Structure formats: C-alpha cells, structure tokens
C-alpha cells in the first residue's frame, strides 16, 4: 500500500554526495553477495534482490491463492503496512543485527559512522531549513539504505509459524492463510500477534490505516482480525505491489486502470511531441507508454478476446494519431502502422514476457521453486524436454499465470528450449512467437 504522492512526509528522500553513492554501491554489492552466498537472506523477501521482483512475488502468492480456490478452500490475506518503516529503525539495533550476521570490522564501523550522528537540512527550491539531528532510521534515497532495512527485517519470518505463509517486498508484508473451517483462523491471528510482538521488540509500528484484510473465496466466513485489539478494515479490491485485483482474483479493474493511464499518457505525447519521423514516435511510445502497459503483465495478462482487444486499442489509437502528426493522412492498416513505428502488437509482447518469465522459473533464474507451481511430465516427448503437466482448470482459475501459458509452452519445438540460454530463447521468440500464438489465439 503506497502513501499519498502529494504528502511530503510519505517520501523523505535523502540527497547524498556522488562520491558517497559510488562507495555505497561498492559496499552494497559486497554485503549482498556475502548474505546471498551464505544463504542468510530469507527466500520470502523479493525486494531489491537479484532474480526477484514484484512479478515473482505476485506470481508465487497468487498461484497459491488459485490453488486454494481449486481445492475449494478459503484464503485470508493480511497486508501489513509499517508506519515510517525506514525512518523508525533504531540504529543500535540495526548495528547489532549486522554484527550477528557476520558483517563486522571496517565495514561495520563504516556503516556505524554512516548512520550515527547524522544531520539534515530540508531543501525547497534554492532555500534551506535549519540543520537538525537524526537519531534513528535508515536514510531513504541512499544506495545502501534498502539493503540495511532488508537485513533488519529479515528474521521476522521466523515468528510467523508454519501454517501461515509470508511474502515480503522490502517493508510490505503479506500474510496468507488457507482454510476450510472457521475454527482454523486463529492461526492467522496468532501470526499477526507474533508479528506485533516482534515489532515491539525491534521498534517498528504497524500503520492501522493502511493494514487491511483481503478475503478470498465465495464461502469465506470473513473472520475478523486485530492488531493490538484494533479491528482491521476489510477490502474487496486491493492494489498489491501495483496490481489491482478483487476477491475473485480477476483483473478487470486493473485492466481498466492500465488502459486509462496508458491512453492518457499517449494523448500527452501526441499533444507535446513535434516530429514527422514515425520511428521517433515509436521510440516515445516504448519509453513512456509500454512500461505502463506491461508492468507485472504475467500476473494479469488477459486471456479473454474482449480484454485483449480493449488493451490493444491504446496502441491502435496512438499509431493512427502519430502518423497523422507525421502528415501521413492516408488510411493505413494496423500491421503496417506497427512496422512504420517499429512496434509489435501488445498481446504478442505480453505473451513473450509470459514465456520468458516461465523460462526463468523452469530454469531456476528466479527464487521460485518450479516444483511448487507445477509438475513436469516424465514421459519422453517428441517436442522439448520440459513439458509441464497441464493443471486442472475451472472458471475460478482461468486467469492464473500457469493455466494461461503452459499449453503454449508445451507446444514449443525442441530447438526453442533444448540446450538453450535465456538470450537464445528470447531471440527464438522474436522470430517465431507470432506463428506459435496463431495456433492458440485468434483475434
């Protein structure tokens, strides 16, 4: 859950010197390698970590939720939001944790000097405030700050319990519990209590305004949960790491949102860019609109034709108006417009991202264990060696990543996957994906 972008207290960014940032970058790399090589960072932490991102976290958690629906279980999710998490970290506690993980000697002394006895000024325009001291917190906007916070919060997973799953992205924590009987829900409440106890010990506080319960399942009893005797609010629609979903695990709201903000961005470009070169218009679309259209797309990529066409309208509109701005007024087909602007159909790009994401999971380029999401077919195949058993599909799970992409994955020929690298696989998709998708999707 994000703060208000117009509220300055939600985004206190520190401005540090370039030399300091270079040294931070070197130090961050060494500390991160040390933590990873010694398997000290929790596998449930997806924030600011190599081979992990918001997409991997969302795929991992949502596939579990879909599985729960398939098994006719209910799922309760609690989104934990911390109040000024980075600013609240007690520096001495953090230094002790770093020492306990083996970060000692000169590096430990440097971090101590970096964090302690800090002062700050607030800059607005060309004016500065008076100087003030800082007694706690990890400075936001620094290179090393996110890693220090991740290390600080790393051991919270040990307090949750075995039956409740946890997923983290920096200070955003998600607790998930699937159940069939209402009497089982005490396990999730116990996990919340343990988390609150951990917070009390380590000086962090839950933001009650932004912590919400998300109930999944048609017959979910919608159990109440509490933090320090305060009943937590419930939500039927949540924005999870930037992706909007509802308690039926469909993405209509997110697709509408993505389409609207992308259309708005397209109109802004069309009004403000002055060029008669179609390639330049294509480059602007790639830079400013595609990131909005494709963020975490493996999580929400629609399989329904009407949704695919609905999103595609953004690019159809942009290419038509861009060529008009290029003084090309004659009627030109969509495919030809894409060629002129050096663009691809949006649905084709999304399925390409889907397949690349699945490739990374299968070949363990992410922290997701593929065997937790699906099983491989052990029988010899005339196609490739990584055939995945197609999961049971219902109307409740047709939006899931695995249900959407596995059939297409299994249809790939040997040369696409056997003895491949991620680079060669991407190159193969560029040259062949359109033909592969034509057998599965007709628009």
pLDDT digits (tens, 9 = 90+) for 100-154: 999 999 999 999 988 887 777 777 777 777 777 777 778 888 899 999 999 999 9
- What pLDDT score was predicted for residue 437? 87
pLDDT-derived band at 4, boundaries 50, 70, 90:
low
- What pLDDT score was predicted for residue 3? 52
Residues in the chain: 443
- β-strands 237-240, 226-227 pairing: unpaired
- β-strands 74-80, 212-216 pairing: antiparallel
- What pLDDT score was predicted for residue 430? 92
DSSP for 70-123, please give it. HTT-EEEEEEE-BTTHHHH--HHHHHHHHHHTT--HHHHHHHHHHHTTEEE--E
Using alpha carbons, select from 52, 47, 36, 62 the residue that is nearest to residue 368: 52
Which of the two residues, 17 and 38, has the higher pLDDT score? 38
pLDDT digits (tens, 9 = 90+) for 42-89: 999 999 999 999 999 999 999 999 999 988 899 999 999 998 888 889
| Buried/exposed 122-149: b ≥16 CB within 10 Å, e otherwise | eeeeeeeeeeeeeebbbbbebbbbbbbb
Alpha-carbon distance 181 to 430, whole Å? 49
User: CA-based Rg of the chain, rounded to a whole angstrom?
Assistant: 24
End-to-end CA distance of the chain: give it in Å, rounded.
36
pLDDT at residue 259 tops 50: yes
Q: What is the pTM of this model?
A: 0.89
Calculate the dihedral angle through the C-alpha atoms of 216, 217, 221, 227, rounding to the nearest 10 degrees. -10
Alpha-carbon distance 425 to 421, whole Å? 6
pLDDT at residue 217 tops 90: no
Instruction: Write phi, then psi, for 216 (nearest 5 degrees).
Output: -120, 135
Q: Is there a contact between 301 and 441 (Cβ–Cβ < 8 Å)?
A: no
């Amino acid at each position: 859950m994000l703060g208000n972008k117009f509220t300055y207290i939600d985004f206190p960014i520190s401005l540090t010197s370039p030399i300091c940032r270079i040294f931070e970058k070197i130090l961050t790399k060494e500390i991160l390698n040390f933590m990873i090589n010694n398997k000290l960072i929790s596998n449930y932490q997806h924030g600011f970590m190599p081979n992990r991102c918001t997409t991997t976290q969302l795929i991992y958690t949502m596939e579990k939720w879909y599985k729960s629906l398939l098994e006719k279980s209910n799922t309760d999710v609690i989104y934990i939001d911390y109040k000024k998490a980075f600013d609240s970290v007690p520096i001495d506690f953090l230094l002790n944790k770093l020492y306990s993980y083996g970060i000692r000697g000169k590096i430990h002394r440097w971090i101590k000097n970096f964090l302690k006895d800090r002062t700050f000024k607030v800059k607005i325009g060309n004016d500065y405030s008076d100087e003030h001291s800082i007694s706690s917190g990890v400075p936001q906007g620094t290179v090393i700050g996110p890693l220090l916070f991740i290390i600080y919060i790393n051991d919270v997973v040990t307090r949750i319990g075995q039956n409740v799953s946890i997923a983290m992205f920096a200070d955003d924590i998600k607790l998930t519990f699937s159940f069939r009987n209402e009497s089982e829900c005490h396990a999730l409440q116990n996990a919340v209590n343990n988390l609150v106890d951990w917070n009390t010990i380590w000086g962090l506080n839950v933001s009650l305004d932004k912590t919400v319960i998300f109930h999944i399942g048609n017959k979910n009893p919608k159990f109440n949960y509490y933090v320090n005797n305060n009943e937590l609010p419930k939500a039927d629609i949540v924005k999870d790491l930037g992706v909007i979903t509802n308690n039926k695990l469909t993405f209509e709201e997110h697709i509408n949102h993505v389409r609207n903000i992308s259309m708005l961005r397209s109109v802004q470009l069309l009004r403000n860019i002055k060029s008669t070169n179609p390639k330049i218009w294509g480059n602007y679309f790639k830079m400013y609109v595609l990131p909005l259209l494709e963020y975490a797309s493996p999580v929400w990529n629609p399989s329904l034709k009407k949704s695919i066409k609905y999103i595609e309208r953004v690019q159809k509109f942009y290419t038509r108006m861009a060529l008009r701005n290029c003084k090309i007024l004659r009627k030109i087909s969509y495919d030809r417009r894409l060629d002129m602007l050096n663009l691809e159909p949006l649905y084709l790009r999304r399925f390409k991202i889907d397949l690349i994401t699945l490739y990374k999971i299968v070949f363990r380029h992410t922290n997701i264990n593929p065997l937790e999401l699906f099983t491989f077919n052990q029988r010899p195949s005339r196609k490739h060696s990584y055939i995945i058993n197609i999961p049971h599909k219902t109307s409740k799970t047709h939006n899931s990543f695995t249900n959407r992409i596995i059939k297409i994955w299994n249809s790939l020929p040997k040369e696409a996957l056997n003895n491949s690298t991620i680079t060669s696989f991407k190159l193969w998709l560029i040259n062949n994906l359109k033909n592969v998708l034509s057998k599965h999707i007709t628009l």
